[in-house]
């Protein structure tokens, strides 16, 4: 059994000298103990410098760029959009509303100071200068895409009004809503009446969609609410799935808005709604198109539907087929067919007309990328009489 008090051996086999002796022993270098003290002092100094730097930059200014720990436990670059004091009120007692520069605005959120890596803080940059430098690096196509993204849905606003709108809506006013047994995170600002400004959470009736500030209010409301299905006429029922409608559009849109609430997403309902709207158009004997402008996710969903339907026909069809013929077969508007095929690089313009180039391998590749369709529409269970103009 070895002795606990046995001193460790040096590399040459002799016993290690006393650390204090080694420190005074001519040219002999200090051993590990003194070396440890030196690096510890350095670390202490670095820590003090870091603390002073961090305290000098707090609270963070709006516009600051920093790394932030997201829900995936990884750090991502963010920009501080707004800040607010917490109840304690000290210099570090702020929450920050941040935009994750890698992600869509819908993921903007309030974060606490401990989620931010203060060693990564960048000084606030003059946004006009930053925009000018960025625009020099961007291609004309990239800049046009960004401009379209900023303006989409607000084409009626001039530049000053658009800036005012963006400033007013930059911070989410409601963090979560409760709907039935689900609590749902919000994506964007919503123009609720002023009396709801201090409500981080709202409670919704899952039948009539009235909203309240407190759970007790919702419970009282639910005892009186007698609405148990959506407004309108039931025109489709298949198993547990029903569809209700009051359909008339001056602009001939076949679908005004798609909304699938988060608890029911990724189950094929959104794709079902799109497919169902085109079945209505077919029954009307008209072509259809969704109401514009489309959101980013809306365009993605429609582009997927158009791709699957059109390429499935092109795979089976022998010989040439025109865009007009595709439109008649699918009830998809000719402009939507054209833009879809152009985005897939399946169409060329030759001798004054569009020509569809349908290589089977290319079609298979695009179909695979478009993913699966949603729930099937059983047309035999559609009970609906198309709307007819009174005139």
- Structural domain spans, the chain: 59-122, 233-381
- The CATH number, out of the four listed (3.60.15.10, 2.30.30.140, 3.50.30.50, 3.30.1700.10), of the domain defined by the range 59-122: 2.30.30.140
Residue 211: beta bridge partners? Answer: 204
- Highest mean pLDDT pick, 120-134, 142-156, 273-287, 375-389: 273-287
Q: Would you state the pLDDT for residue 86?
A: 84
What is the C-alpha to C-alpha distance for residues 327 and 311, in angstroms, rounded to an integer?
13
Q: Which stretch of 1-15, 36-50, 271-285, 343-357 has the lowest confidence by average pLDDT?
A: 1-15
CATH class of 233-381: mainly alpha
Does position 379 have pLDDT exceeding 70, yes or no?
yes
Catalytic pick among 127, 245, 291, 345: 291
Q: Taking CA 352 as the corner, what is the angle to CA 347 and CA 358, rounded to the nearest 5 degrees?
A: 20
The tens digit of pLDDT for each residue in 162-212 reads 777 777 788 888 999 999 999 999 988 888 998 998 898 999 999 999 999
Both tokens of residue 189?
């600002």
Both tokens of residue 336?
């939507």
What is the C-alpha to C-alpha distance for residues 258 and 305, in angstroms, rounded to an integer?
14
Q: What are phi and psi of 294, to 5 degrees?
A: -85, 140
Strands (E), the chain: 65-69, 75-85, 94-100, 109-112, 116-122, 176-179, 182-185, 201-204, 211-212, 233-238, 241-245, 347-350, 353-356
Q: Would you state the pLDDT for residue 121?
A: 93
Does position 4 have pLDDT exceeding 90, yes or no?
no
What is the C-alpha to C-alpha distance for residues 331 and 274, in angstroms, rounded to an integer?
12
Local structure of residue 182 (DSSP, 8 states): E
- For residue 24, name the pLDDT band (cuts at 50, 70, 90): very low
Contact criterion met (CB below 8 Å) for 325 and 290: no
Three-class DSSP category at 327: helix
Q: What are phi and psi of 299, to 5 degrees?
A: -65, -40
Q: Count how many residues are written for the chain.
A: 391
Per-residue burial over 349-373, b if 16 or more Cβ lie within 10 Å, else e, is eeeeeeebebeeeebeebbeebeeb
- Highest mean pLDDT pick, 69-83, 126-140, 360-374: 69-83
Question: For residues 118 and 144, which has the higher predicted lDDT (pLDDT)?
Answer: 118
Asked if the bond preceding 59 is cis, omega within 30° of 0, the reply is yes
Name the CA radius of gyration of the chain, rounded: 32
Q: Taking CA 250 as the corner, what is the angle to CA 246 and CA 256, rounded to the nearest 5 degrees?
A: 55
Q: How far apart are the first and last CA of the chain?
A: 108
The tens digit of pLDDT for each residue in 35-60 reads 444 466 666 655 666 666 667 788 89
User: For residue 109, what is the enclosing H or E element?
Assistant: strand 109-112
What is the C-alpha to C-alpha distance for residues 183 and 41, in angstroms, rounded to an integer?
50
Q: Would you state the pLDDT for residue 139?
A: 52
The tens digit of pLDDT for each residue in 217-264 reads 999 999 999 998 888 899 999 999 999 988 677 787 999 888 888 899
- For residue 79, name the pLDDT band (cuts at 50, 70, 90): very high
For 26-31, what is the mean pLDDT? 44
- 291 in catalytic set: yes
Over the chain, what is the mean pLDDT?
A: 80
Q: What are phi and psi of 339, to 5 degrees?
A: -65, -35
Three-class DSSP category at 68: strand
What is the C-alpha to C-alpha distance for residues 37 and 126, in angstroms, rounded to an integer?
44
80: which residues sit within 8 A by CB, 6+ positions away?
60, 61, 62, 63, 64, 65, 66, 96, 97, 98
Both tokens of residue 311?
């390429």
Contact criterion met (CB below 8 Å) for 89 and 95: no
What is the C-alpha to C-alpha distance for residues 309 and 340, in angstroms, rounded to an integer?
11
The tens digit of pLDDT for each residue in 257-307 reads 888 888 999 999 999 999 999 999 999 999 999 999 888 889 999 999 999
Q: Would you state the pLDDT for residue 133?
A: 47
What is the C-alpha to C-alpha distance for residues 248 and 387, in angstroms, rounded to an integer?
7
How much is the pTM? 0.63
Q: Which stretch of 11-15, 158-162, 181-185 has the lowest confidence by average pLDDT?
A: 11-15
What is the C-alpha to C-alpha distance for residues 96 and 80, in angstroms, rounded to an integer?
6
- For residue 142, name the pLDDT band (cuts at 50, 70, 90): very low
Does position 106 have pLDDT exceeding 50, yes or no?
yes
Residue 83: beta bridge partners? Answer: 96
- For residue 352, name the pLDDT band (cuts at 50, 70, 90): confident
Contact criterion met (CB below 8 Å) for 53 and 62: no
What is the C-alpha to C-alpha distance for residues 157 and 208, in angstroms, rounded to an integer?
33
């Amino acid at each position: 059994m070895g002795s606990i008090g046995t001193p460790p051996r040096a590399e040459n086999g002799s016993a290690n000298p006393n650390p204090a002796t080694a420190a005074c022993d001519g040219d002999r270098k200090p051993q590990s103990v003194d070396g440890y003290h030196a690096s510890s002092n350095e670390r202490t100094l670095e820590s003090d410098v870091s603390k002073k730097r961090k305290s000098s930059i707090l609270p963070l200014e709006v516009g600051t760029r920093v790394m932030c720990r997201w829900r995936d436990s990884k750090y991502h670059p963010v920009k501080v959009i707004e800040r607010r004091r917490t109840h304690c009120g000290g210099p570090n007692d702020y929450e920050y509303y941040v935009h994750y520069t890698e992600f869509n605005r819908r993921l903007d959120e309030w974060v606490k100071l401990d989620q931010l890596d203060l060693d990564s803080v960048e000084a606030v940059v003059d946004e006009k200068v930053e925009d000018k430098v960025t625009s020099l690096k961007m291609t004309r196509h990239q800049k046009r895409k960004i401009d379209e993204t900023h303006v989409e849905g607000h084409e009626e606003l001039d530049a000053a009004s658009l800036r005012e709108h963006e400033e007013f809506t930059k911070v989410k006013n409601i963090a979560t809503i409760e709907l039935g047994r689900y609590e749902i995170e919000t994506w964007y600002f919503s123009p609720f009446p002023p009396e709801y400004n201090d409500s981080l959470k709202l409670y919704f009736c899952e039948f009539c969609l009235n909203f309240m500030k407190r759970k007790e209010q919702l419970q009282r409301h639910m005892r009186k609410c007698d609405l148990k299905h959506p407004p309108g006429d039931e025109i489709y029922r298949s198993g547990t799935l029903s569809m209700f409608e009051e359909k008339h559009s001056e602009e001939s849109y076949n679908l005004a808005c798609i909304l699938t609430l988060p608890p029911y997403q990724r189950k094929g309902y959104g794709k079902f709604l799109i497919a169902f709207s085109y079945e209505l158009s077919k029954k009307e004997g008209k072509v259809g198109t969704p109401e514009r402008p489309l959101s980013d996710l809306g365009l993605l969903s429609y582009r997927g539907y158009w791709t699957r339907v059109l390429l499935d026909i092109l795979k089976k069809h022998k010989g040439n087929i025109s865009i007009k013929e595709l439109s008649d077969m699918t009830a998809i508007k000719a402009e939507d067919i054209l833009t879809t095929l152009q985005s897939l690089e399946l169409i060329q313009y030759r001798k004054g007309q569009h020509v569809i180039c349908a290589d089977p391998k290319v079609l298979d590749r695009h179909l695979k990328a478009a993913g699966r369709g949603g729930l099937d529409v059983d047309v035999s269970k559609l009970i609906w009489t198309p709307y007819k103009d009174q005139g």
